[in-house]
Amino acid sequence: MPGDDRCSLGHMNENPAVPFPTPSHWIDGRPLPGSGQLIDVVNPADESVIAAVREGTTEDVDKAVDAALAAFPGWASTSPRHRAAVMHRLAEGLQQHSEELAATITLEMGAPIGFSRRAQVGFPVASTLAAITTAERFEWTEVVENSLVIHEPIGVVGAITPWNFPLQQLVTKVVPAMLAGNTVVLKPSENSPLSARMFAEIATEAGLPDGVFNVVQGTGPVVGEALSGHPKIDMISFTGSTRAGRSVSVAASGTVKRVALELGGKAAHIVLPEADLDFAVRRGLAYAWANGGQACGAYARMLVPESLQQTVVDKLRDAAEEYVVGDPADEGTRIGPLASETQRRRVDGYIRRGIADGATLVVGGPGRPEGFETGAYVKPTIFSDVDPESVIAQEEIFGPVLVVIPYVDDDHAVEITNGTIYGLSGAVTGDEDHAVAIARRLRVGQVDVNGGQHNFQAPFGGYKQSGNGREMGRAGLEEFLEIKAITR
């Protein structure tokens, strides 16, 4: 990969105890050292420092925005076919570097290596290819009676991405934005920034022109706010907590730029009376605890008929034994550490709150798992008999904590599901016609019925305080386009 400070596992910096160099910002197609303080990137499995990034400043943001603005006319004037060809080469590069990317993500945020290969890197490759297909099918110019309707790029897009899926969340914003003809300035999470820098180098290898994609490392209060309020940025796309999303909206309001937000969630998995309980439990637990439960779409609530709660709980207890907590670098590990010590403390606090509020502890509990005195580890936890209005049933925990809530009938299940501030995703298991009828009543952006195969062409986004706008598919491409009507 090009650049003086290649961000790879094979390149050692001046400190042999730290396997990565100090990744600089990536501006106008090359590394640009920053002047800010160093921010340590910590391996949550053993608390070792694996890298340090420079904290970006408003001046760094200005340089990146100016580079993106200068690159915009040339990139926007290229054909959609040309842009798709560059993205094809990018997808190939991601695939070629998949093992290195997976290992890096495991180091920087603790995802088990098998999950990193399959999801943390596999999903971005699939998402990129799906976005290319969408762009190739898209009608960039349409005739509507006596008007020519033209879809044009917005301009410079600011993207802010989280730590839990550092590469996937990047790809679902940056790739459609660039396919639409926009240029981008990205702020990745300071907790997991290394894969973003690697993406920048792979994109340059793929032939992306200088300035089309830029990376400024740093924190939300400095770099994120500078991007959100920047007068030369035409759109901000943010994924993160609902609290932070509100701050982005406020900062962006002064320039009336377009804002797309993918925020928190508290997904409910409704198990219908006729459901195959073994299937429902296996799938429900897998989607509750995948990535250590650090997913906005995690099936954090399992709603079960009152008469079946004990049966389901017994099956969950048995299924939980298969989830081995361990070193994320080990092939057999299903649950690694959480992404940071801060996150570990947060999740542990919710577990303690659930016990204090009277929920029945099925497995897990507070404190670290036995044998893990170091690292951001928590015990995967299941509660039953959970009050749907309780804190652990209402707030996004973002850890491997599943709450089981009994319901009386369909109306009650729908009421509980819709009874939070969130509306990102959900799931229903049971007879297909029955399940689809329930799914139509849920105030969420995406519903999985009976384990439907993941569709990278389907739009993803939320209702209510889970955000606005959509990612992926046609709707995800249209987020990054302006519409011009020429009437003749």
Element (H, E) at 436: helix 432-441
DSSP string, 226-253: HHHH-TT--EEEEES-HHHHHHHHHHHH
Q: Give me the catalytic one of 190, 201, 225, 262.
A: 262
Q: Are strands 213-215 and 183-187 parallel, antiparallel or unpaired?
A: parallel
471 is catalytic: no
3-state secondary structure of 303: strand
Give the gyration radius of the chain's Cα atoms: 22
Burial of residue 1, with CB atoms counted within 10 A of its CB: 0-12 exposed, 13-18 middle, 19 or more buried: middle
Q: Among 159, 100, 98, 140, which Cα is nearest to 123's?
A: 98
User: Token match 């973003």: residue?
Assistant: 196
Give the side-chain half-sphere CA count within 13 A for 271: 28
Q: Are strands 141-144 and 147-153 parallel, antiparallel or unpaired?
A: antiparallel
Largest CA distance in the chain: 74
DSSP string, 338-397: -S-HHHHHHHHHHHHHHHHTTPEEEEEESSPPTT--SSS--EEEEEES--TTSHHHHS--
Identity of the amino acid at 402: L
The answer to whether 70 and 211 are in contact (CB under 8 A) is yes
d(CA 300, CA 111): 18
Element (H, E) at 302: strand 301-305
Identity of the amino acid at 12: M
3-state secondary structure of 73: helix
DSSP string, 99-158: HHHHHHHHHHH---HHHIIIIIIHHHHHHHHHHHHHHHH--SEEEETTEEEEEEE-SEEE
Strands of 379-384's sheet in order across: 360-365, 379-384, 401-407, 301-305, 268-271, 425-429, 446-449
Which residues have CB under 8 Å from 284's CB, separation 6+? 269, 271, 299, 302, 402, 427, 429
Tell me 45's DSSP state: T
3-state secondary structure of 438: helix
* Residue positions annotated with a catalytic role: 262
